[in-house]
Amino acid sequence: MTGKAAIIGGGVIGGGWAARFVLNGWDVAVFDPGPDAARKLEAVLDNARRALPGLGDVALPPEGRLTLCESLAEAVVGAAWIQESVPERLDLKHRVYAELAGHVAAGAIVGSSTSGFKPSQLQAGQALAGQIVVAHPFNPVYLLPLVEVVGSPANDAAMIARACDVLRGLGMRPLHIKAEIDAHIADRLLESVWREALWLVRDGIATTEEIDDAIRYGFGLRWAQMGLFETYRIAGGEAGMRHFMAQFGPALAWPWTRLVDVPELTEDLITRIADQSDAQSGAHTIRELERIRDANLVGMMRALAANDWGAGAVQNAHDAAREDAAGLVAHADDLTDPGQPVLTLTRTVPLDWIDYNGHMTEARYLDAFGQATDRLMKMVGCDAAYIASGGSFFTAETHIRHLDEVRAGAPVTVHTRVLAGAGKKMHLWHEMRSGARLLATGEHMLLHVDLATRRASPPPPAIAGPLKRLAEAQAAQPWPEGAGRAVGAPR
């Protein structure tokens, strides 16, 4: 489903909405009278174009047309969805809705990005009352899927259902909140944590960094993939949610936090929560939930590691500290016997490397060999500092042979030979093993490149010397079986 959307207010949230719509094929008209509106909008769009297309495994449709308009009336002509994202002032929002009246099509949905106002407050005294609905997103709007949808008795059920359908068509997860309440659901939860954090800083108990660390290295990761109640269901063990509440419920009466107004844990409330938890998660055993949780956590922390951030940075530092013990050498000149194949990778096959056949997916063999190539490059001096100075190696050709399968949790190593290392060329031969089993071989031809011209060029002596010494030291080794082989049977 596509059409035209109008965005009123092009700041961080409005710009995020514009990006979400336009990258999903909608034509988008934006009205924002601010002098820097175009620049700010383009900055958000640049980020969205960089990130959103890589989120899924299916290509996005062609971009819609983006237009900056001089007036509200011009922006909303023909729009099926109007998203208001002006500052959080009720009088300002009312003025916007009043100006929209008479210009908005009868079937158009007017969504508000409000974080706190109830829909009935937005609708009060407005000719468009029946078309106004809360559609509260989270930043960055172009990536995070949650959007809280809240209506009032002024909105009919068909209109709410249609709004949710539009949002699902944008790749979002509409959470229809059935009852009006200030700040909806998510911001009320965030506000409670925020208030407690302010007290912790004010009382000198924790710094802002310590509080952020408590979240991002711990419960924030668990919440990201199972939320609150499902996380606590697992904490209750095989007895489930009822057991958890019996064990930890009394703590609600203890003055652990400044938030001391807590509901009494009556049998009715305990039963309601336990029954809802069963309906939510009862299709899985606790062991299954634990394994799902663990797989999700590994995937998230590996993604964080790719950016050397948060919990991923902790793992990167841990890996770096273990390199010596694993037998990985920092520089080729430190090798005890440079005439032997060099250990360039030692790791365990992670959960997210497994395909539908239950073994390592073919793309990950290339990933592993690519990591081994990067290690060999560093060993001859082509490290991050050298690359930043303007030189690197580009892969020109690759040939991988898949000889045996390997499953999650299996240890694998890659040993690398330099078949040739002279002039512009670096010819590598990788062998991947799990124990004594040969799993795969990878043959890679790389060319040294001047990053300024993007053309092949000889490496400087600091790179060429170690590379040549490795190639010469390993020249006495027998030529690897399969090296230089074409795919399939010879013609």
Burial class (CB in 10 A: 0-12, 13-18, 19+), 380: buried
11 is an annotated ligand-binding site residue: yes
Q: Is 15 annotated as a binding residue?
A: no
- 83: three-class secondary structure by DSSP: strand
CA dihedral (199, 204, 210, 212) in degrees, to 10, reads 20
Is 40 within 8 Å of 15 (Cβ atoms)?
Answer: yes
Q: Which two tokens stand for residue 11?
A: 């700041």
Q: How far apart are CA 383 and CA 374, in angstroms?
A: 8
Tokens 């060429």 found at: 464
Measured between alpha carbons, how far is residue 6 from residues 77, 103, 169, 392 in Å? 8, 12, 16, 46
Is 204 known as a binding-site position?
no
Q: Closest by alpha carbon to 323, among 305, 341, 346? A: 346
Longest dimension (CA), the chain: 88
Which residue carries 């990536």 as its tokens? Answer: 143
Q: For residue 109, say whether it is annotated as part of any ligand binding site.
A: no
Q: What is the DSSP letter of 217?
A: I
Neighbouring residues of 226: CB distance < 8 A, sequence distance ≥ 6? 234, 289, 293, 296
Calpha distance 240→263 (Å, rounded): 21
Residue (of 143, 147, 100, 118) closest to 6 by Cα position: 100
Q: Which helix (H) or strand (E) holds 307?
A: none
Question: Is 211 annotated in some ligand binding site?
Answer: no
Euclidean distance between CA atoms 80 and 122, whole angstroms: 19
Length of the chain: 491
Say if residues 240 and 278 touch (Cβ distance below 8 Å).
yes
Angle at 242 between CA 240 and CA 243, to 5 degrees: 70
Interstrand relation of 146-150 and 173-177 (parallel, antiparallel or unpaired)? parallel
- Please answer whether residues 291 and 354 qualify as being in contact, where contact means their C-beta atoms are separated by less than 8 angstroms: no
Structural contact between residues 409 and 337, judged by C-beta atoms closer than 8 angstroms: no
Question: Quick one: which of 456, 398, 449 has its CA closest to 428?
Answer: 398
Cis bond upstream, residue 459 (ω within 30): no
442 annotated binding-site participant: no
Q: Who's near 463: CB < 8 A, 6+ residues apart?
A: 380, 381, 382, 386, 391, 448
List residues forming the annotated binding site.
9-14
List residues forming the annotated binding site for NAD(+).
9-14
